Amino acid sequence: MKKLDWNLVAQEIVDNIGGFENIVEMFHCATRLRFVMKDDNLANLENLKKITYVKGYNKQDNQHQLIIGAGTVDKIYKGYQNIAGVSAVGSDLNVAGKTKLWNKEISWQSNCLQITKKGLNSFAAIFVPLIPIFIIGGMSLAFKSLFAQFLDVNNGFLQILDIIGGAILGSLPAFVGYTAAKKWGGNPFIGMSMGMILIAPALLNSYSNGAPVMLGFELGTPQSVIDAEVKNAFDQWLSNNNLTNNGLEPKEIVGYYFTIFSGVANNFFEIKLIGYQAQIIPVLLVLILSVNLEKGLRKITPEAIAIIVVPLVTVLFSTWIAFWLIGPLGQIIGKGLAIGITAVYKYTNYYGIGFGGMIFAGVYPLLVITGLHQGFLPIEAQLLMDSKLQYGHSFSFITPVACVSNIAQGTACLIAIFYIKNKQQKSTAASAVFGAHLGITEPAMFGVNLQIKPLLVAAIAGSACGGYWLGMTHTVANSLGSASWIGLVQFDWTNTEALKYFAANDIPATFSSLAPGIHVTIAMLISMGATAGFSFLLLNTKWGKNALVSFNGDELKVQTQQ
């Protein structure tokens, strides 16, 4: 069989969007080739949609998206890199200037909406390339949590999984530093350096440290003074909790970190030597500073000394501001965001009532269509990190919602197979069903469900039904990973940790005696059943029959006329 030339496929796409000179930016996510053009009128959308590997098309603001599918989109983008001469490191092509942040010709509401969309697009460009490492790290910790329920805590295999997950998720600031600097026009390696500085070994590891009591000491404080303070804090903790020392060690309850500049200006410039492992908001805020500082320095620094002055001044100044002001501020924002989102979800779901879960799961497919669901990735990472620091175990309600949504899309596409007449389209739909049940829904959504709109409505309704169960039971995942049947390992299969979490937050969860893993399985089955029922119902209406006629084309029209 002749080897497929992906360069030719990429060239066909480029030819139909006005050539290289019309491309402002091009990059890709797990399933979509995304690009921005100087002049949208030069694009031939009809020809683009007819390209063999293009399963669908979507436009969000000024960004065009070709839905291609996992794996294939990587090959097409590499073909684009080959013909464009773009390096793998600088994996996008920027040839145009910035668009205005505020457009005086439109209303302030439209400006706010446009800025929000740009922000979400920027988030997608930063976090979409990191999806594979999120999955690796999250699934490693998920498997560790699953196997720890019947293996000894000192088992070697568990330690390997913990090392993989802890290393990847603990190093998130370094990865985010690279992609954020690259997206915002800075040197990605300076950005990565800033991220690594925030998780330096000399800092207290906030990801692995779970002590409920923390003390701060000026760097250089004698160890005898530290030990005495730790012992006093430990005794006070026992007293406050009406406990006796039943074999507990002070270090299990009381942790400590060091500070510098504590004696300057009444501690105004005090810096806590605490790391920002697995935290997203602090590193993003730091990168906003460092990238803009780097750009400014490049404009005013003589070329002869720029290679030394620009990176050195950027890193030194950004590091000091990061630990003194931006990092702590980012932590406050991140915790506030996590508390706010969790509170909204908590108070919209009650005993027997899953209103919040139903709305979130019903809206989620629409977010996937626009690509806005990528914005939940950093939010969920923050939720997992914040709950781990607070309760010693990670919790998130976002992954369960994504699970029922993905299963609903796959089920709707599965039902379509029974109505599709064209063998090639039937085969495409079958592969899309498989992908959706493994967590990649774009081929099913854009290739079938959006074209047969009653199926999309059925999937939304089915997802909402599954979400209702998730809401009233307050089902939570313990890590990031795949929102699919494979992702069941991301859920606890005992209810011990969930019950502690519910008790600590006074969460009114229905059927709390069941483990989260059981609840999400039930919710996914509800989503499947409801979607299948709504699909059959809607496809047998006049609207559904017309949608099928339109999708199947002339072949079905002739059959209906006969």
pLDDT band at 94 (very low <50, low <70, confident <90, very high): very low
CA atoms of 427 and 39, how far apart (whole Å): 36
Helix axes 172-183, 281-300, angle to 10 degrees: 40
* 48 three-class SS: helix
User: In the annotation, is 403 catalytic?
Assistant: no
The model's pLDDT over 511-559, given as tens digits with 9 standing for 90+, comes to 999 999 999 999 999 999 999 999 999 999 999 988 888 787 644 343 4
Residue 497 has pLDDT above 70, yes or no: yes
Burial 345-369 (b: 16+ CB within 10 A, else e): bbebbbeeebebbbebbbbbbebbb
Residue 303 has pLDDT above 60, yes or no: yes
Average pLDDT value for residue range 199-209: 83
Residue 299 has pLDDT above 80, yes or no: yes
Percentage of residues of the chain with pLDDT beyond 70:
89
Residue 39: how many other CB atoms lie within 10 Å: 11
Residue 294 has pLDDT above 90, yes or no: yes
Query: What are the tokens at 338?
Result: 């996590």
Average pLDDT value for residue range 105-130: 71
Residue 84 has pLDDT above 50, yes or no: yes
Flag the least confident range among 61-70, 189-198, 213-222. Answer: 61-70
Flag the least confident range among 74-78, 83-87, 261-265, 500-504. Answer: 83-87
Average pLDDT value for residue range 428-438: 85
Kindly list the domain boundaries of the chain, sorted by start residue: 6-84, 204-328, 349-552
Which is nearest to 25 in space by CA: 72, 74, 62, 69? 62
The model's pLDDT over 337-370, given as tens digits with 9 standing for 90+, comes to 777 877 888 888 888 899 999 999 998 988 887 6
Q: CATH for 6-84?
A: 3.30.1360.60
Residue 209 has pLDDT above 60, yes or no: yes
Residue 2 has pLDDT above 60, yes or no: no
Looking at residue 316, its pLDDT comes to: 96
* pTM: predicted TM-score of the whole model, two decimal places: 0.70
Query: What are the tokens at 66?
Result: 């070709």
pLDDT band at 89 (very low <50, low <70, confident <90, very high): very low
Looking at residue 376, its pLDDT comes to: 75
Looking at residue 103, its pLDDT comes to: 67
Average pLDDT value for residue range 220-242: 89
Flag the least confident range among 82-96, 219-233, 245-259, 360-374. Answer: 82-96
- 507 in Cβ contact with 164 (< 8 Å): no
CA atoms of 362 and 396, how far apart (whole Å): 18
The model's pLDDT over 144-167, given as tens digits with 9 standing for 90+, comes to 877 877 788 788 888 998 899 888
The model's pLDDT over 454-480, given as tens digits with 9 standing for 90+, comes to 999 999 999 999 999 999 999 999 887
Question: What are the beta bridge partners of residue 33?
Answer: 28, 66
Give the phi and the psi of residue 301 in degrees, each rounded to 5: -90, 130
